[in-house]
Amino acid sequence: MDKPSRRGLQPDTTPTLLTQAFADCPGLESFCDSLWGNFSPKYALKHLRRRAAQLLEKMPPQQLQHELAEWQRLSIVPEPDPTNQDLVGVLWQSPLFQTLMDTIGFSPPDNIDIRNYMAPRYPSLTELVMARAQLQGRCQRGAVARGEIPYWQVVLQIQAPHLYLEPFLAQGVPLEGCDLACGWGRICLTLSEYRQRRIHACDLADSSLITLQKLAAIRELTGVIETHRVDILHLPFADNQLDFFLAFDIFEHMVDDMLRPCVLEMLRCGKLGCVLYAEIPMEAYCPALTHLQNWNQVSLCAFFENLEVDGKRWKMRQWSPFIPDHFTFVIE
C-alpha cells in the first residue's frame, strides 16, 4: 500500500521577503538583530522577523529593492558609521527603517485617544521605579516581540512629568514651552497640566507632525499644542522666550558637534529658571538604532553643565540611579 502523502504537512519553504532581503543585502540581518535587540530578548526575535516579513509584503517591490540598494551604497549595513550624523536623518526617513520600527509598534495609530494608555500619576519616584521595573520585566520576557504590548504603549507608561517637570515650574502664570524633536508627541501629549500653557512641538518630519496634530485633536489639545517644522539647531524663538523644554530620546542621536550647538540654542531661548525634562538613555550605544552617544550620568551632566550662553547654564536638579534615563535640568 502506498504511504499517504505528507505534502500538506510540509512547511512552506518559499523565502519570505525578509529572508530574500537578507540575501540581497548582506549585513541587513545583523543590522536587524542589533536594532530589535534593544526591544526584545534574542530568543523572541523570531516573532519580530515574522511580523517584519508581513509588513514588507505591503511595500512595493521596486521601493524595497531601491531601499536595499541605497543602504548598501551608503554602507548603512551591517552598521552605520557612528560619526556620520547625516545617516541619522537618512534612516529615520527611510521607508525600510520605518517598517523595521513598525515591527515593534514604535508609533501609535493616529485615530486613538492616548488618554486610555497613559501612565497614572505615580505618587513618588519609588512607585515609578516599581512600575518601570515591572514593565521592563515584561519586555525582557518578550512582550513587545510577541505583540502583547506595542512599544508606543510601553513609553507612555514610563514617564512622569508631574514628578520631573511640574515641581520646578512657576504656578498660576502663563507658560510657554517647546517639545524638541517631538516625533508623534509622546511627551507633550501626556503632561499632567495644560492650563495657561502653550507648547511648540518641533520636528523635521512632516509625517510625525501630522500624526501629532490628529492625536492632539482627539486629546482636545488643539490650540494648546502648536506644531512647527523646525531644524532644532535653529529654533524660531526669541532670546529668553521659553519657560520649559521637553526632550525625549533626542540627544543620544547626535554627535558632539551637533549636540553642542543644539544645547546652546536651548540656552539662548530659555529664560532663567527654564526647566528641561529629558529622557536620555545611559550607556545605550547602538548605531543601528542611531544611538551615537554612550554617556553615563557623570559625563552627560558635565557636558550640559559646562556650556554657557550670556551667563546662563544648565544645572541638574533631579536624577535617580534607579531611573537613570530621566533628568531635570534648570537654567541658572
pLDDT digit string, tens, across residues 220-247: 999 999 999 999 999 999 999 999 999 9
Whole-number mean pLDDT of the chain?
94
Return the pLDDT at 39.
96
Backbone CA torsion sign across 54, 117, 40, 69 = positive
Mean pLDDT of 149-163: 96
Return the pLDDT at 4.
42
Q: What is the largest CA-CA distance in the chain?
A: 93
Q: Find out if CATH 3.40.50.150 is the number for domain 161-331.
A: yes
Statement: residue 109 has pLDDT above 70: yes
- Return the CA Rg of the chain: 22
Q: Where does the pLDDT of residue 15 fall: very low under 50, low under 70, confident under 90, or very high at 90 and above?
A: low
Q: Where does the pLDDT of residue 6 fall: very low under 50, low under 70, confident under 90, or very high at 90 and above?
A: very low
Instruction: Report residue 106 as a C-alpha cell.
Output: 514604535
Statement: residue 35 has pLDDT above 70: yes
Mean pLDDT of 254-275: 97
Return the pLDDT at 115.
96
Mean pLDDT of 147-175: 96
Strands 175-180, 225-229: pairing is: unpaired
Strands 175-180, 323-331: pairing is: unpaired
Return the pLDDT at 14.
52
Please tell me whether residue 229 adopts helix, strand or coil conformation: strand
Percent of the chain surpassing pLDDT 90: 95
Return the pLDDT at 291.
96
Statement: residue 2 has pLDDT above 90: no
Statement: residue 9 has pLDDT above 70: no
3-state helix, strand, coil in the chain (%, to 5): 40, 15, 40
What are the residue boundaries of the structural domains of the chain, listed by start? 16-102, 161-331
